[in-house]
Amino acid sequence: MKLSVIIPIYNEINTIKEIIAQVRAVRLTFNVWGGQAHEEVLTLERELVLVDDGSTDGTRDYLDTLRDAPDIQVIFHEQNQGKGGAVQTGLKHATGDIMIVQDADLEYDPRDYIQLIQPILEQRTKVVYGSRFRGGPTKAMFFWHMLGNQFLTFVTNLLYNTILTDMETCYKVFTQEVAQKLRLKAKGWGFDPEITVQIMLSGYRIYEVPISYTGREFEEGKKISWKDGFTVLWTLVKYRFTGFKGT
């Protein structure tokens, strides 16, 4: 089996080399239950799908040096499309049995891949979200960002009858089967609610596990703002009334 790590990138010259090294360093070996309670050891292959979304800070020059790496695909957007657009491109190129979205800014720790992927390998679910609010170690978040996140997650739960704690998490993990049913259109911050709603309206329940989180400051390059919350809210409401039909 293979894991595809989709990394949307925009002006991350200060972190991109480190996050690639961290993703490559993770040992993707799992102990899973087989028949008659027999434990089996499974090691996943991996590929990194790097989608540069029109960077202007030298990130593209660095990524260009990775084109010949056997475990990496590099795709360039000529113009910035937003995180959603970059993830959509990544999904089109990914070849893995399992997909995970990884931000390039070091806020999320690839060492959490083990607990994120394990439920899928054990066939307990086909979708796993890593939650920053289920007791994992975290660096303190901005209060208003936390409040906004919790409000939008509450709206998601209210509209779609679920009990998520972190709809806007970066760590969204799902099988190729799920990926093939998605029809994503949102280019910017509407990506998180859109993919979440499409997954649920396709009949899948989302399994959450706790993850670590080290939020960065605005001066370190954090990009999301309170205005993006309106895009998220509109996306949640729109799908509630228009529905979704995948493949």
pLDDT at 142: 66
pLDDT band at 216 (very low <50, low <70, confident <90, very high): low
pTM for the whole structure: 0.90
**What is the maximum alpha-carbon separation in the chain?**
55
pLDDT at 222: 46
Residue ranges in 6-136 assigned as alpha helix (H): 16-25, 59-64, 83-93, 113-121
pLDDT at 246: 66
**Domain annotation for the chain: domains and CATH numbers:** 2-242 (3.90.550.10)
In whole numbers, what is the pLDDT of the chain averaged over residues?
91
pLDDT band at 75 (very low <50, low <70, confident <90, very high): very high
The mean per-residue pLDDT over the stretch 169-182 comes to 97
Query: Comparing 3-12, 28-37, 119-128, 186-195, which segment has the lowest mean pLDDT?
Result: 28-37
pLDDT band at 12 (very low <50, low <70, confident <90, very high): very high
95-138 pLDDT, tens digit each: 999 999 999 999 999 999 999 999 999 999 999 999 999 887 67
3-state SS assignment for residue 102:
coil
The tokens 């209210």 sit on which residue? 158
User: What CA–CA distance (Å, rounded) separates 38 from 50?
Assistant: 37
